[in-house]
Amino acid sequence: MTPAYDVVVVGGGPAGAAAALALAGRGRGVLLADAPGGPPAVGEALPAAARMLLRDLGAAGSVPGDGHLPCYGNRSVWGSAEPASVDGILDPHGTGWHLDRPLFDRRLREAAEAAGAHLRPVTARPAGRHADGGWTLALHGADPATEVRCRWVVDATGRRAAVATPHGARRILGDRLVALHLVLAPGDGPADTTTLVEAVPDGWWYTAPLPGGRLLLAAFTDADLPGARPDPALFRRRLAATGPTAARAAAHPFPPHASPVRAPAHTARLDRVHGDGWTAAGDAAAAFDPLSSQGILTALWSGRAAGLAVDAHLAGDPHALGRYTAGVTGVVAAYRRNRTTYYGLEQRWPAHPFWHRRRSPGPRPPRTPVPVRERAERGGNPSGG
């Protein structure tokens, strides 16, 4: 007999785990399909405000947990050559975290399983629809191969939106931002628990500590610009032209023969976040530029909101999915305002393609050298939520 669930959540990252937690907490039968493999996410910063979301999800007792680093502040070189900082000790919610992302994601999935969700390390792909509107999904990676049935699917597959786009949704791109990132070996200098953002003529750099004394080094630029090539020598030359970023990286050895990994970091959204039998959450619904995004915090929020909306819809609420759409629309609008403001603060290279593309047609905002306040409050990160 084919196993049946109320909802199958496709994707086991923060958004998918949060959706499964919310649905299981409402007594729904949930399968969380978490396909193994792929490069692990790195460099996530989670603000202290996430404590409230984790509490609402019922996971505050186990997530984040031990194994992460405290985040005590954020530094920036933005809008001028003078560094500025925001001290995390001023956050009313307490101290944030530099996450060990694989550990964080695993604990979220374990929390969903403890709440009653069924966790499978498989890829779930729609294989058919039923007359009552339900789905059959094929589970790839299962042994033996199997199928399951469900009433609804939550797409938490990241920027691919692997369920939504084949079923009527259209991906709308907002820019061409990419990240080139590399993890440096543990250094021998004093511990630095801050993040650092530094603007340069063709984009910006981000560094943050990782557990084990390592350092994440990431460069952001547009995909069509020369600096976007994942060439180790070019990466090192561009790094040498920076200021505080190069000084911080100098305390950490480069791994032998290491090449930076190129990853998408562009702004994108779906033209609709739900359709016939599906709802999108996390980066599948809307993915943001890491500078001014809410990062992993948005993934947790949208996953929980999507799960609650699906539960209410299946219970007969005709407006639940519309409310979810309005919530995502509001988050996207706030992101656009923040992005325009923060990029508008950097006026040193107005003719360079990267910065010219991000110039606001409206009045120039007042100058301040601390664009990373958004990170302190919202948990921006170079690898998405």
The secondary structure element, H or E, covering residue 210 is strand 203-210
Q: Is 71 helix (H, G, I), strand (E, B) or coil?
A: strand
What one-character-per-residue DSSP string does 256-303 give? TT--PEEEE---EEES-SEETTEEE-GGGTEE--TTTS-HHHHHHHHH
The answer to whether the pTM exceeds 0.85 is yes
Residues 6+ apart with CB under 8 A from 207: 195, 196, 215, 216, 217, 218, 245, 248, 249
> Please, what CATH class does the domain formed by 4-69+99-174+266-333+373-378 belong to?
alpha beta
Q: How many whole angstroms separate alpha carbon 286 and alpha carbon 383?
A: 14
What one-character-per-residue DSSP string does 95-128 give? -EEE--HHHHHHHHHHHHHHTTPEEESSEEEEEE
pLDDT-derived band of residue 98, with 50, 70 and 90 as boundaries?
Answer: confident
Q: What per-residue confidence (pLDDT) applies to 367?
A: 39
Q: How many whole angstroms separate alpha carbon 218 and alpha carbon 224?
A: 17
Asked if the model's pLDDT at residue 233 lies above 70, the reply is: yes
Q: What per-residue confidence (pLDDT) applies to 256?
A: 87
Nearest to 45 by CA among 61, 59, 64: 64
pLDDT-derived band of residue 142, with 50, 70 and 90 as boundaries?
Answer: confident
Angle at 325 between CA 324 and CA 329, to 5 degrees: 120
What is the pLDDT of the chain when averaged over all its residues?
88
Token pair of 107, please? 């604990």
Angle at 103 between CA 215 and CA 383, to 5 degrees: 50
